[in-house]
Structure formats: structure tokens, C-alpha cells
């Protein structure tokens, strides 16, 4: 995969990464000390952010990507073109990019089928010196979604 230079990204992707970075500051992560911020770009140009929210029982923990998706859903926004993700570890900046976990990939794939668009996932390290972009279909090959159930979710 290609490494992108921040200053050479399209303006909307630079803005998404900046918003994801801001959202990262709101992470509730007393257990892992790993902060993640995400910023979704809706098809109508709105940016919706999310951050990770941990729980002592671990299972109920929610990732930043799903936090942004659920927040957008609560606002009636379900169609997206891009998401940016950035993270920071307890010992400081990450060296590699922060990529979505498997559950987040599945949720983003569902959002892509609702959107009728193969969502771009922009992943960065803390300092934004390593930036990788991939389509959700690349990150979750052979995915199962609403289309497989012959359900048109684009009307929701």
C-alpha cells in the first residue's frame, strides 16, 4: 500500500484527519491508554466524529469508528464516502497507522452498502507522517452484508 503525504492529500481528507485528531483527545481509555479518533465524511459533506470509549468489562468497549457511525445514525446520517482514523498509544505517538478492527470493518462495510459507495478508509499514525488509504472492500474482502440478504438498505 502507498504512503501518502499529508500536504498532498485532497483538502477534505486533510480536514478529516484533523477532525479525527481532535476527536482522539476525547477518548475515554483508562484501561488501554490507547486513544483513537475517527471522522466520517457524509455524502452531503458533513463531518461526524467519534472516539473510543472503554469499559471495565472490556466487551462493551466501543471503538472510535463505531462511535462515529452510531453518532451519525442518531443524527439521521447514514451515507458516507470516507472515514479517517488516527491513534495514540500510552507511551506516545504511534509509529504505524491505526487501522479499524474487524468489527469496525464490518460496520463500515454495512455503511458502504447503505451508501452505495465503497468507502475510503484513511489511516494515519499519530504524527501523520504515515498515511495509508484503502477502500473498505479491500480491508474486508469477501464481506457479507445486506446485499447478500437481498435487502436494499439504501432507503433507510
DSSP-assigned letters across all residues of 84-149 = EEEEEETTEE-SS-----HHHHHHHHHHHHHHTS--EEEEE-TTSSSEEEEEHHHHSTT---GGGG
Name residues whose C-beta falls within 8 Å of residue 6's C-beta, 6 or more positions apart in sequence.
Answer: 14, 17, 124, 128, 129, 131
What is the DSSP pairing of strand 47-51 with strand 35-42? antiparallel
Catalytic status, residue 110 = no
Q: Which of 13, 19, 21, 65 is catalytic?
A: 65
Which residues are tagged catalytic? 65
Amino acid at each position: 500500500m502507498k504512503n501518502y503525504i499529508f500536504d498532498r492529500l485532497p483538502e477534505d481528507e486533510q480536514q478529516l484527519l484533523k477532525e479525527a485528531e481532535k476527536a482522539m483527545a476525547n477518548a475515554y481509555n483508562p484501561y488501554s491508554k490507547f486513544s483513537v479518533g475517527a471522522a466520517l465524511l457524509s455524502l452531503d459533506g458533513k463531518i461526524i466524529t467519534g472516539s473510543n470509549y472503554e469499559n471495565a468489562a472490556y466487551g462493551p468497549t466501543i471503538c472510535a469508528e463505531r462511535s462515529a457511525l452510531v453518532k451519525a445514525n442518531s443524527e439521521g446520517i447514514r451515507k458516507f464516502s470516507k472515514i479517517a482514523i488516527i491513534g495514540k498509544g500510552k507511551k506516545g505517538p504511534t509509529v504505524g497507522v491505526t487501522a479499524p478492527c474487524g468489527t469496525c470493518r464490518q460496520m463500515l462495510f454495512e455503511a458502504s452498502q447503505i451508501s452505495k459507495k465503497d468507502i475510503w478508509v484513511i489511516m494515519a499514525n499519530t504524527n501523520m507522517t504515515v498515511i495509508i488509504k484503502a477502500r473498505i472492500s479491500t480491508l474486508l474482502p469477501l464481506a457479507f452484508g445486506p446485499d447478500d440478504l437481498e435487502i436494499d438498505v439504501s432507503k433507510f
